[in-house]
Amino acid sequence: MNKLKEELVKELALIVGEDWITLEEEKILGYLYDQTPDPMKPEPSKDVVVVKPKNAEEVSKILLVANKYRMPVFPRGGGTGLAADPFSRK
């Protein structure tokens, strides 16, 4: 993990707690796709951090940190979207 991402993850952990951050690729995979049918499903970027805030206050703090590191943020709901998940920026 590069230094920038390490610092970012440390700051995010201070907001939500380490248990609510996912870095392992096998655990992240489920967040990289929505219900867009296969032929149209683009290849997602896998260099992501999944963060699970518990309330609006944590969301606000996460966005401040993401902005500080100039990191794009992709909100995730139930993952049932059919418009090709925004992660697909490879």
Ligand X SMILES: Cc1cc2nc3c(=O)[nH]c(=O)nc-3n(C[C@H](O)[C@H](O)[C@H](O)COP(=O)(O)OP(=O)(O)OC[C@H]3O[C@@H](n4cnc5c(N)ncnc54)[C@H](O)[C@@H]3O)c2cc1C
Interacting residue ranges for ligand X, rule: CB under 6 A: 34-35, 74-82, 86
By C-beta, is 2 or 83 nearer to ligand X? 83
CA–CA separation, 50 and 63 (whole Å): 13
Shortest spacing between CB 41 and ligand X, in angstroms: 12
Minimum CB separation of residue 58 from ligand X in Å reads: 13
* Minimum distance, C-beta of residue 83 to ligand X, in the bound complex (Å): 6
Residues 6+ apart with CB under 8 A from 48: 28, 31, 32, 74, 87
10 or 46: CB nearest ligand X: 46
Place of tokens 């992501």: 48
